Structure 1
Amino acid sequence: MKNLLLALALCSAAPALAQTAKKATTTKKTTVVKKAPAKKAATPAKKTTTTTTTKTAAAATPAPAPVAPLTEAEAASGLREALTTGITKAVGFASEKDGFNLNDDIRIQFPPDAQLVSTTLSALPGPIGKQAVEQVTNLLNRAAETAAPAAKDIFMNALQQLTLTDALTLVTSSQKDAATQLLRKNSEAALNAALRPSIVQSLDQVGANSAYAKLIERYNKIPLVTPASANLTDYVTKETVDGLFILLAQQEAKIRQNPAAQSTALLKRVFGGK
């Protein structure tokens, strides 16, 4: 009888045991599946390590060596080269046809003491009035253009006489035409005297003297006017030199301010850091 009861009890417990075993298996499988994301999380950690290594390598690149300070000798050589380049270009521009005549910055007008001549005759019609004034003005500028090539050697000689003891100050100056101003201060009078013979020749060559003298003669015949002088040489010489210095100052400013105008290694060295 006991054996029979024991057998019945075992039969009744069997389904429960089977269900428990099934749950255990399912739990085990679920646990295995949940472990999978842990493997994926390890990959970003590897990338982070690689990035850190790259940044460390980049940071280890040595910094560029510091640029040596500009010496006075370099500054003086650079200024002379800049002025030489500027003189060559300024004289070249001034020597072209209409280099003076069509450049409003340097176009030569009637002398101050003959402005009344220009104003008075310009009010008259035809070839004896405005046309004659315009013709003479053009000829004054043609004379300057014709004489301009002779100014190059004169400028170069004046440049060689400069002692640029304050070269570093000039290079770092906030004035974009500092070197031109120094050259003008030291050589303008000599340049006027040296260029004068070329102006005399060019005024005659282009016919400016003759045309201007006729205009002045016509003006002086007007009743009650104060007679005007017909001498142009000193005035046109001064205006030509003034115009060349203006062009030179413009060229210096370009070299100082425009990297494209710093055409040599020395110019880049002296002016490139400004």
Structure 2
Amino acid sequence: MKTGFFSCLLISLLLTSCETSQQILNSLPTTVGGQTNTTQIAAALKEALTIGTQNSANRLSAVNGFFANAALKILMPPEAQKVESTLRNVGMGSVVDKAVLAMNRGAEEAAKSATPIFVNAIKQMSITDAMGILKGGDFAATNFFKQKTTADLTSAFRPVIAEALKKVDATKYWGDVFSLYNKFSSTPVNTDLSSYVTEKAVAGIFLEVGLEEQKIRKDPAARVTDLLKTVFGSAAAQTK
């Protein structure tokens, strides 16, 4: 089987419907050059996912990776929004702003630990997993990562976030927020800041991974290695 046909096969699997992809897979010979087709496809997919998750983690771990991203910026939890409104109304908005900035800085610091967790999940990915992703929906890879890495990301993020929050006095600001609020309210508010920020940080990582998955599937500019250019590029040219 020629390389061009293999390239066309892979891009077809990524961009066609699940039913069509299954029909293509069922029609393939068992081996190509002594290796199974699925092994070669899995290798290409793992490289794509490695690049995608690294890109996501790098963007979010940069300064303002969370804070300057409107879709990901971590704000006060819903149960504390009344606190925020009250404090701003009495001229204490700067305290709230410091707390919000500190939460986002903690998430950015924690995101630095995401890449090795994703890479480990990719290394352990079976051929069956890879083919399931190829035959799945547009966010099949992202859903795979949610299933395989959420617990590890949460465990890794929480102590980093707790330390980062402490380092930038976020816990102090948080305490200041609720101390001030409690002066004006008979109902005290007690929120686990580290847990809340960790949950939001993990959700943000998966949102970015999902966006990166779409780039790898559909955007030629996102194919930045020779393998990805060969597998995706030549196929795209043949389908025009």
The ranges of structure 1 where at least 4 consecutive aligned residues each deviate by more than 3 angstroms after the TM superposition are: 268-274
SS at match of 2:5: coil
Q: 2:140 aligns with which of 159, 167, 178?
A: 178
Sort the Cα spacing of 1:182 and 1:196 in 2 relative to 1 into closer, same or farther, 3 A: same
SS at match of 2:208: helix
| 1:155 partner amino acid | F
Q: Distance in 2 between matches of 1:115 and 1:159?
A: 39
What is aligned with 1:251? 212
Q: Distance in 2 between matches of 1:223 and 1:167?
A: 54
Q: 1:92 aligns with which of 51, 58, 64?
A: 58
Sort the Cα spacing of 1:142 and 1:262 in 2 relative to 1 into closer, same or farther, 3 A: same
Displacement of 1:171 in angstroms is 2.4
What is aligned with 2:177? 215
Q: Distance in 2 between matches of 1:75 and 1:122?
A: 55
| 1:190 partner amino acid | D
State whether structure 2 residue 201 is matched by structure 1 residue 240: yes
SS at match of 1:165: helix
What is aligned with 1:67? 5
Displacement of 1:188 in angstroms is 0.7
Sort the Cα spacing of 1:158 and 1:200 in 2 relative to 1 into closer, same or farther, 3 A: farther
- Matching of residues 37-116 of structure 1 within 5 Å: 67-68=5-6, 69-70=9-10, 71-116=37-82
| 2:149 partner amino acid | S
Displacement of 1:266 in angstroms is 2.7
Q: Distance in 2 between matches of 1:199 and 1:144?
A: 6
| 1:235 partner amino acid | Y
What is aligned with 1:199? 161
Gaps of 5+ in 2: 11-36
Equivalent pair of 2:95/2:176 in contact (CA under 8 Å): no
- Pairwise CA RMSD of aligned residues? 2.2
State whether structure 2 residue 127 is matched by structure 1 residue 151: no
What is aligned with 2:104? 141
Gaps of 5+ in 1: 1-63
Displacement of 1:174 in angstroms is 4.5
State whether structure 2 residue 130 is matched by structure 1 residue 167: yes
| Bigger radius of gyration among the two | 1
| 1:223 partner amino acid | S
What is aligned with 2:227? 266
TM-score by length of 2: 0.77
TM-score by length of 1: 0.68
Displacement of 1:238 in angstroms is 1.2
Sort the Cα spacing of 1:229 and 1:161 in 2 relative to 1 into closer, same or farther, 3 A: farther
| 2:215 partner amino acid | K
May I ask how many residue pairs the two structures share in their alignment?
206
Using the TM superposition, name which of 101-110 and 228-237 deviates more: 228-237
Q: Distance in 2 between matches of 1:119 and 1:109?
A: 13
- Highest RCO, 1 vs 2 (Cα 8 Å, sep ≥ 6): 2
